[in-house]
Amino acid sequence: MKTSLKRFFAGVAAAAMAVGGLALGAGAAQAAGTASTNEGTLTIKAEHDTTDHTLTAYKIAAYNSGYEKDKDGNLNLDTFKYVVEDPTDEAKIVDALKNAHVTATGSATESAAEEGLKQVVGHSETSSWGYKDNATERQFADELAKLIAGGWKPSFSKENVNASAAGASNQLPEGLYLIIDKYAPAAGSNKSTQSVPMLVGTTFASLAQAANDSLDVGKITMKNTEVPVTKQVVQNDDPTKPYTTPSYSLGDEVTFELSTTIPDYAGYTKNAADLSAGDARKLVLTDTFEQNANKKIPFSNPTVAVDGVKLYRNDGTEVTNGVLTKDADYTADVTKASDGITVTGMKFDFGKLVNGDGNTAKSIAWQTGDVIKVVLKATLNENAFVTDKASSTDLVSGVDPNGNANSVKVDFSDHTTTGHHEVNGPTVNVYSFKFSLVKQYVKNPDTKLANAQFTIKDLDGQYLKRVDGKWSTAGTDEPTASAAYDTADKTVDAAKLAGTGIFVTGSDGQIAFDGLKAGTYTVHEIKAPKGYYQGALPSFGVTIGAGWNDDTSNDAAGDATSGDQSLKNVTYQYDTKNANGLVTAIDDTSTVTVNNVTSITQLPKTGAAGIAFFSVIGVAIVALAALFAVRARKASRLA
């Protein structure tokens, strides 16, 4: 990043102005200065996104009106000085200088503030910020910012000064300015950090452009950075690969990858002995389970995968032996809601790493720009939102009301006493779907039937069961129908039966198979309600399909498509060829109707049910014919 600080010498006096780059001189026996009323130019360049960044310029000191040019048109340093006219400004500047360890003593011609400003030096060409550790220019800027945050408003300031990628020009009274950025990242954004306070001087109105360029004044690059923080859903069995169809059944484990970049701590103090101290560096990655549309937390039991915290170089290369060590390089703790009980995510604190000696616990060197990746697992629980529709055919980049969202942010600072920066990463959503059936009497649809028993199996032939709202497998053998209601029609423990893989209709005739991932399932009625025909129980298939919108702006996976999708559409398709004509299903609706009959004569006479009916009649006729044949033979023997 370009910095602009030069030293100039004029006679026996020489001084320098921080960051903005004006060299100062103080001639002997000068009269008290008068502030210039001319306007200079301040051009601010932004290497990162400036959206929502609000910059305010506070004049710390004016240039004097009596400065002159030499014969070559350059600034005559012997005629230049700072001018601080307001007594309150004078006192505050002296306080800031003192806190930055600069001794400010007035002279016969200049005040303590004016003299002290010439001592604000300390520059490193190799540092990204232009600062070296404990540089007075950095400390002075921070101290001024603290005073302004505490209520001091310099006698002149201008809000909403402009910055741009090409460099935006601002007209200001000639002088030295502190530029403060009031940016705060919005939720769900992945934008740049707040700029650190910047000291910069305007151009000299009386000098030509070439002369100002030789002083390197009137221009600065915002001292902010983009610390990327990413998140994506990844495959459970291979967390290096994004999972681009994020649907799950309740009880499934969801795997997320979080990452952040180690920021540039140039000029930042560190304190390995006390990570909470004011001079300690901070780097905290926080994963948050967002409330869904039901105002519930849909995830629980967060855990870190084995070797799930790793160090990578900024080119994506995994650092050899770069697995970070818990409690030595970082700490990991669950976060909780205000009730002190509900888990809302996990917090990873890398203070031990960034306040250390530049090495991991395994003696592997880390460096600015290295990427820390965390693989986090959590269970989609019984509080998850289930849906049969999509919010939009357009990408939903934040919290999807039809999904279950998980967000991430990174929080870092130079040291905690001067504030910190939060950058919000992408919010990812995962989805679960609903499907239900209604059981009724074929001759009177208003008669809803309780105590009908069903099973459901997936495409792998695994029968499913549900315990405490979560799905799991019950094996490949179909559960045997329960006799629970044979003697007491209304005494059925539906929850207990669901735990064995048997699902029972309630008094409203319904079963809600809520919380299933997209896929194909087979539903089979294994026992009709008491008093209804048991010989033609239906079976049907349902395929829940999902379409996805890809968030191509989330490059967490390192390519165009990461594991960050929102639901585009939901489809339902039914296969009723084995339903004996007893299932009414309309594609793309999530509820089907299953009829029961009291006798075989009520079965439909067409299709599979018709074949079943006539097959039964045929069997009966054959049986009767056999009976008559036997009786005829007996009669002939008796004759």
Tokens standing for 575?
Answer: 């296969």
**Closest Cα partner for 233 from 212, 257, 213?**
257
User: Where would I find the beta strands (DSSP E) of 27-136?
Assistant: 39-45, 55-63, 68-69, 75-76, 82-83
pLDDT confidence of residue 10 = 27
Which phi and psi (to 5°) does residue 632 adopt? -65, -40
> Within a 10 A sphere around the Cβ of 153, how many other Cβ atoms?
13
The packing angle between helices 87-99 and 136-149, to 10°, is: 130
- pLDDT per residue as tens digits for the range 380-404: 999 999 999 999 999 998 999 999 9
**Residue 525: strand pairing partners:** 454
| 3-state SS, one letter per residue, for 595-609 | EECCCHHHCCCCHHH
- pLDDT per residue as tens digits for the range 437-455: 999 999 999 999 999 999 9
String of b and e for 178-203 (b: at least 16 CB within 10 Å)? bbbbebebeeebbbbbbbbbbbbbbb
**Closest Cα partner for 164 from 100, 215, 222, 112?**
222
Share of the chain above pLDDT 90, in %: 64
User: Where would I find the beta strands (DSSP E) of 281-416?
Assistant: 282-289, 299-312, 318-323, 331-336, 343-349, 371-380, 404-413
Lowest mean pLDDT among 6-15, 110-119, 271-280, 392-401: 6-15
Amino acid symbol at 384: A
pLDDT band at 470 (very low <50, low <70, confident <90, very high): very high
pLDDT confidence of residue 482 = 87
Cβ 258 vs Cβ 232: under 8 Å: no
> Which DSSP symbol is given to 406?
E
Backbone CA torsion sign across 381, 385, 388, 390: negative
pLDDT confidence of residue 25 = 38
Q: Among 39-48, 61-70, 488-497, 511-520, name the most confident range.
A: 511-520
pLDDT confidence of residue 185 = 63
Which phi and psi (to 5°) does residue 309 adopt? -125, 110
Distance between CA atoms of residues 593 and 447, nearest Å: 12
- Residue 362's Cβ-count burial label (10 Å; 0-12, 13-18, 19+) is middle
> Within a 10 A sphere around the Cβ of 158, how many other Cβ atoms?
16
Residue count of the chain, please give it: 639
- pLDDT per residue as tens digits for the range 133-155: 456 777 888 899 999 999 999 99
Tokens standing for 238?
Answer: 């291979």
Question: Does the pLDDT at position 3 exceed 60?
Answer: no
3-state DSSP call for residue 271? coil
Backbone CA torsion sign across 600, 446, 587, 457: negative
Mean pLDDT of the chain: 85
Distance between CA atoms of residues 522 and 592, nearest Å: 13
pLDDT confidence of residue 127 = 43
Tokens standing for 152?
Answer: 């001091």
pLDDT band at 414 (very low <50, low <70, confident <90, very high): low
Tokens standing for 98?
Answer: 């003192």
Distance between CA atoms of residues 66 and 50, nearest Å: 37
Amino acid symbol at 155: S
- Residue 609's Cβ-count burial label (10 Å; 0-12, 13-18, 19+) is buried
> Which DSSP symbol is given to 622?
H
pLDDT confidence of residue 629 = 58
Distance between CA atoms of residues 173 and 128, nearest Å: 29
**Closest Cα partner for 346 from 292, 284, 390?**
284
Distance between CA atoms of residues 176 and 218, nearest Å: 10
- Helix runs in 68-111, H state only: 87-99
- Residue 605's Cβ-count burial label (10 Å; 0-12, 13-18, 19+) is exposed
Question: Does the pLDDT at position 625 exceed 60?
Answer: no
Distance between CA atoms of residues 554 and 557, nearest Å: 8
**Closest Cα partner for 109 from 34, 33, 23, 175?**
33
3-state DSSP call for residue 616? helix
Backbone CA torsion sign across 131, 135, 140, 146: positive
Distance between CA atoms of residues 407 and 303, nearest Å: 16
Question: Does the pLDDT at position 11 exceed 80?
Answer: no
Distance between CA atoms of residues 145 and 570, nearest Å: 53
Distance between CA atoms of residues 257 and 373, nearest Å: 7
Question: Does the pLDDT at position 28 exceed 50?
Answer: no
Cβ 352 vs Cβ 331: under 8 Å: yes
Cβ 223 vs Cβ 342: under 8 Å: no
> Within a 10 A sphere around the Cβ of 477, how many other Cβ atoms?
9
3-state DSSP call for residue 623? helix
Question: Where do we find the tokens 């489809």?
Answer: 571
For range 539-564, the mean pLDDT? 90
Cβ 416 vs Cβ 277: under 8 Å: yes
DSSP H or E segment with residue 215? helix 209-215
> What CA–CA distances, in Å, run from 110 to 36, 59, 69, 94, 139?
16, 18, 21, 13, 23
Distance between CA atoms of residues 393 and 387, nearest Å: 15
Cβ 538 vs Cβ 525: under 8 Å: yes
pLDDT band at 420 (very low <50, low <70, confident <90, very high): low
Lowest mean pLDDT among 38-47, 457-466, 516-525: 38-47
First to last CA, the chain: 120
Question: Does the pLDDT at position 1 exceed 60?
Answer: no
